[in-house]
Amino acid sequence: MTIPKISVIVPLYNTERYLTKCLESIMAQTLREIEIICVDDCSPDKSAELVSQFAKQDKRVRLIRHDQNAGLGGARNTGIINAHADYVASVDSDDFIEPDFLEALWQATEEGRFDVVVCGYKKVDAEGRTIGTGMQKVATMDPIPKEQDPFKISDPAFWNKLWRKSLFTESGIFFPDHIYHQDSATTPRIYTKAKNVKFIGGTRYNYLIRPDSVTQSVSDKHLIDRFRCVDVLKEFFIEQGIYEDLTSSLTERIYSGYSYHVGNVIKNRHGGDSVTDAYLRHLLIMREGYLEHDMTVRMMSLEEKADYLLKHKPIPRVKLPAGTVSASAQKEPEPRPPLPSNPRIMVLTLFSGENEFEECCSALDGQVHKNWDHKVFRGLGNHQAHRSLYQFIMDNNRDYDLFFKLDADMVFSHSGVLCEIIKIFRDRPALDHLIVACDDYMTGERILGVHTFSGRVRWRESSSGIFNDPNPACAGTRRIIRDPASSFFKHASDPSSLQAFHFGAHRALKLVQRGYSIAEKRVAAMQLQWDVLNGLWRQYKKHGDRRHILALVAADLVIRGKLGDGAHDYHDPDLLMQYDVFSVFTGAALAELVRENWDDEERRVSYFNLAVGPEGLEKLKLEAA
């Protein structure tokens, strides 16, 4: 028998009506060296008989039957264990794939170099109509950074990926049996073992949206399984000795990870409004109880747990001030060591040729507070520069009292700014992260942009090159000053034409968020960046400055798919090529290229819808609900 290149796992349970289309799409793959492992999880319909008929036609089809139902996770585990190939893929039995799905995944492994390959997908309805897409980005993480947050590498779905089988079999990580949403409990664990991952985009997998599917439904099992999934992850992180590093990420996942499910619950309202209301109330109560009490209960012995239950004893809890909601958010933050009389500050600057850099350095020299060092990061890509800056803070946290992130296009508004920053930290002993707005010439507004950190902050690496300023984990508090009483900083006061072009492209990338799933999309970023683009148009109308309209042209290239995610970097070849094309245009000529997008409210609405796309609009509706 020839060893297949890929073992394709197809779990079977009550999907007979969709199975023929699913299997025919796998058997028709352009990559022929595959095996198709169909696992009958005691399905009550005739799925197994149907597979037996296909097996007579195609020797690559195998049928394995469970004696007892093990759930979707158990069926996938059976497929993995019985796979002959070094790589496994999975196709849910109500879905179907495009003819080159497996070949594209296989080619992307580069002859076995990559552990995981991620493909884009379409969401389709029962008639096969496309109603959304996901995971469209094209990128590589090679290697996956040591500090990478496993929740932020990709969506948790098992089915739009190719996996090296040994990630499961050698680590002993498998899907939990009889748990809904078992992908969410498994994929982040596997990513802690993977060396690298490649994203190939496209829409080669077709994911069927059914009103009666697990993600669309409500039940008591849905409620409890949400937290069983979280518990599987938490237990694993504790066992692996990485829970301390991942505490904030896991908490964030608890808060934000259910958006897609809750959105579907609200949309479908199975059982009516009263059932939906009760379900959401129970889900919210369970979330808050888990966050507040799990670590306390986890440390109890079996006898202590029984004692609390049998003797009707309440778990000690934090007394909340009137009007508060979440006990998990009310723990008293731990104060920092007091700042010395003359605190030592490290000023960190990212420089990519910005016009304002000389003025930035001169204004720093003019500060009344003189106990500072200045480190400039030059010649690095945007993502690498931020990563290096954050790593520097973590590596040198004992050498300085505060770290001040000052981009090369930021200029102090007066000589006492560092003194004011120090005073803010003195007045707030638990403050670890301060964000201050600056006066931005490009938009004519105040925008957030200057960060100061204590030495206690920690970052986990983000997989996105678009959002390069992730908030660090803090032992203490974070404060944002959106509208200071007087100006602290000026931003981009005299940008070069290339700066302006890059500014528009970078802001549009954060608006579009191409390749992000609905769950991953950031509504606040969409709204903020849309306001920025509107500000550019207002500034152009007010000043007639060619740089504002050049920024809008770059943004339009991103929105229309003519510039990709690489445009966040000043050195991106596509960005520079497009800049060379448009940099010779007059301001009036540039304005004619984008005027129709901004001239009236109706056009602006249509343009926004184009920019965020169907999935962005769906996420906005979910957030509004």
- Averaged pLDDT of the chain: 87
Q: Which of the two residues, 63 and 274, has the higher pLDDT score?
A: 63
Report the half-sphere exposure of 326 (CA within 13 A, side-chain side).
Answer: 12
pLDDT digits (tens, 9 = 90+) for 186-202: 999 999 999 999 999 99
CB proximity list for 79: less than 8 A, separation 6 or greater: 7, 9, 10, 11, 37, 39, 64, 88, 90
Q: How confident is the model at residue 602 (pLDDT cuts 50, 70, 90)?
A: confident
The predicted pLDDT at position 542 comes to 92
Bigger pLDDT: 15 vs 569: 15
In this prediction, residues 451-466 reach a mean pLDDT of: 76
* Residue with token string 């590498």: 153
Query: Structure tokens of 122?
Result: 């379409």
Query: Given a cut of 80, is residue 613 above it in pLDDT?
Result: yes
Say if residue 469's pLDDT is above 50: yes
Q: What angle do CA 220, 223, 225 make, to 5 degrees?
A: 105
Residue 234 binned pLDDT confidence (cut-offs 50, 70, 90): confident
What does the pLDDT look like over 289-320, one tens digit per residue? Answer: 888 888 777 767 777 788 888 888 888 665 54
Q: What is the mean pLDDT of residues 74-92?
A: 96
Task: State the sign of the Cα–Cα–Cα–Cα dihedral 555, 558, 560, 563.
Answer: positive
| Span 469-497, average pLDDT | 84
What distance in Å separates the CA atoms of residue 586 and residue 589, rounded to the nearest whole number? Answer: 5
Among candidate residues 257, 225, 74, the one with its CA nearest the CA of residue 150: 257
> Is the confidence at residue 146, as pLDDT, over 90?
no
CB 537 within 8 A of CB 587: no
- 34 contacts: CB under 8 Å, gap ≥ 6: 4, 5, 6, 7, 8, 26, 60, 85, 102
What integer pLDDT is reported at residue 384 of this predicted model? 84
Distance CA 299, CA 315 (A): 12
Task: Kindly state the average pLDDT of the residues 484-501.
Answer: 91
Tell which residue, 471, 478, 459, 470, has the closest CA to residue 394.
Answer: 459
Question: 378: how many CB neighbours lie within 10 A of its CB?
Answer: 12
pLDDT tops 60 at residue 321:
no
pLDDT tens digits for 540-595? 999 999 999 999 999 999 999 999 988 888 888 999 999 999 999 999 999 999 99
Which stretches within 114-242 are classed as H helix? 166-169, 182-191, 220-239
Q: How far apart are CA 197 and CA 118, in angstroms?
A: 7
Q: How far is 233 from 243, CA to CA, in rounded Å?
A: 9
Residue 604 identity? R
Q: How far apart are CA 259 and CA 266, in angstroms?
A: 10
**All domains in the chain, ordered by first residue:** 6-210 (3.90.550.10), 220-322 (no CATH), 345-491 (3.90.550.10), 497-624 (no CATH)
Query: How far is the C-alpha of 420 from the C-alpha of 76, rounded, in Å?
Result: 58
Query: What pLDDT does 623 receive?
Result: 60
pLDDT tops 90 at residue 477: no
Q: Is the pLDDT of residue 394 over 70?
A: yes
Return the minimum-mean-pLDDT range out of 26-40, 85-99, 594-608: 594-608
φ/ψ of 468, rounded to 5, equals: -95, 0
Alpha-carbon distance of 233 to 185, in angstroms, equals 6
- β strands within 31-184, DSSP E: 34-40, 61-65, 87-90, 96-97, 116-124, 130-134, 138-141, 161-164
Contact indicator for 88, 9 with CB cutoff of 8 Å: yes
pLDDT at 463 (0 to 100): 45
pLDDT exceeds 60 at position 178: yes
Half-sphere exposure of 403 (CA within 13 A, CB side): 25
Question: Residue 516: is its pLDDT beyond 90?
Answer: no
More confident position, 372 or 230: 372
**pLDDT at position 325:** 45
Pick from 408-417, 426-435, 438-447, 458-467: least confident? 458-467
Q: Determine the pLDDT at residue 320.
A: 47
pLDDT at position 23? 97
Please check the confidence at residue 465 and state whether its pLDDT lies above 70.
Answer: no
Cβ atoms 65, 71 nearer than 8 A: no
pLDDT value of position 236:
87
- Percent of the chain whose predicted confidence (pLDDT) is above 90: 57
Mean pLDDT value of segment 513-531: 84
- Residue 324: its pLDDT value, please? 46
How many angstroms separate the CA atoms of 624 and 547, rounded? 35
pLDDT at 172 over 50: yes
What pTM, to 2 d.p., does this model score? Answer: 0.53
69/40 Cα distance (integer angstroms): 9
Q: What is the DSSP track for 236-252?
A: HHHHTT-HHHHHHHHHH
